[in-house]
Amino acid sequence: MRKRLLSGLIAIAVIGALAPLGMRTASSQPTAPLLADVDEATLNELALSYRILVNQGVLDAYGHVSIRHPKDPNRFLMARSGEVAPAYVTPNDIMEFDLDSRAIDLRGRALHSERFIHGEIYKVRPDVNAVVHSHSRAVIPFGVTKTPLRAIFHNASFLGEGVPVYEIRDESGENNDMLVNTNAKG
């Protein structure tokens, strides 16, 4: 009984915490026209990840999240772009892409121009199951200065020996739009 009560209180707390974010619970999310071969819980979790990362200051208006397709490692799932900000992504905004970042079912929806980051990472790293592209203010300085981002406590050990910095001018020259918008740049 105590365990059920505690679970209920946690569920109420989570729902209460999501309300200020304009978030609905999974049961209130629309169920059609979701992707046929992806379960609703997965789509809800991906949509929720956008909102959580916005709420935590990781994603801005131009950030995006993807996951490797749960049934096909040669595909990934990511929200559409253009009409919906990351803070308002729902399961109906999730699209399926192949690893060349081509939409499987476009249906007239706008695409993130930098979806190629995701496709190329999934191609070369079969062990990666999620990608976040962010313009986090906490990380940007490490990309534009000579100070390397490195682990300074045990929870950051995944940084290993350091983090590579992508310099778009190496790929696109000095005069470029600063977007990773092709497979080659990705």
End-to-end distance of the chain based on CA atoms, in angstroms? Answer: 52
Question: Is 161 labeled as catalytic in the residue annotation?
Answer: no
Check: CB of residue 104 under 8 Å from CB of residue 125: no
Amino acid at 34: L
Beta strands, E only, 50-118: 64-68, 75-79, 94-98
Q: Which entry of 96, 114, 171, 174 is annotated as an active-site residue?
A: 114
Q: Given CA atoms 159, 165, 166, 170 in this order, what sign does their dihedral have? A: negative
- Give catalytic residue positions: 114
